Amino acid sequence: MRGDPEPPPATSSTPSLHLTGTSRWLGEGYADITKLRELAAKHERLAAKIQARVARLHTKIEKLRHTATLLREKSGTVLSRIPEYQQEMAQHERTIQTTTAHQTVHSLGSDITGLHYRIRQLQQKIVDVQHKARRIEHRAAVKTQVSAVLKVRADRLLDQVRVAQVEAQNYLRRADRLQMATESEAAQAATANPPPPPEPPPPMPAPAGDTPGEHDQL
């Protein structure tokens, strides 16, 4: 009676310990690379967001400076009327002196009092113009002060942008170095000599009751 053949040795479907450890290390390495690049992208988005705020602040600063310049020009235009008023006042004073010198009586006529009234009106106009110019200058100074405050804020935001960009570059460099190391390790694992295949099982011995040629004789 022929004995039942021994079943072949079972081959494990799981990889060896070395390959399992290598693949696990590579997986963690690539996960770390992805995390580093995600952090770099996060800092880059933060830098872009802050740069947009800085651009809006710079636009507002330039608008305030332009408005302040226009106000100062307007103030100068308002003050430019004062020399005309002063010349007119001087002309009236000369007329009053000439008229008074030719009068024989000491009583002042309506022409003289009218000229005095006109001089007072011009003096009042000069005061009003100066007050208006000072008011305009104050508005210009306020605009300039606000622009200076915004400039300080923009400079601080630019510092934050530089910090975020440096952080992003650092994370990218770390990710690149880790990727190079991971790819180098993967290449070494792929080119390494594979383990020798398992030896084939020895041939099964013939059963004791059977002799060669027995079945042929029958």
* pLDDT tens sequence across 175-207: 888 888 877 766 666 676 555 666 667 666 655
In whole angstroms, give the CA distance from residue 130 to residue 68: 18
* pLDDT tens sequence across 115-163: 889 999 999 999 999 999 999 999 999 999 999 999 999 999 999 999 9
Closest to 53 (Cα-Cα) out of 154, 141, 134: 154
pLDDT at 66: 96
Q: What domains sit in the chain, N to C, each tagged with a CATH number?
A: 24-189 (1.10.287)
In whole angstroms, give the CA distance from residue 80 to residue 78: 5
Scanning the chain, the segments in alpha helix (DSSP H) are 17-79, 82-102, 110-191, 214-217
Residue 15 has pLDDT above 70, yes or no: no
Start-to-end CA distance of the chain, whole Å, equals 16
To the question of pTM greater than 0.85 for the whole model, the response is no
* pLDDT tens sequence across 66-121: 999 999 999 999 999 999 999 999 998 988 888 777 665 555 667 788 888 999 99
Q: What is the DSSP string of 65-119?
A: HHHHHHHHHHHHHHHTTHHHHHHHHHHHHHHHHHHHHH-SSSS--HHHHHHHHHH
Distances (CA, A) of 163 to 50, 154, 157, 160: 11, 14, 10, 5
In whole angstroms, give the CA distance from residue 47 to residue 163: 8
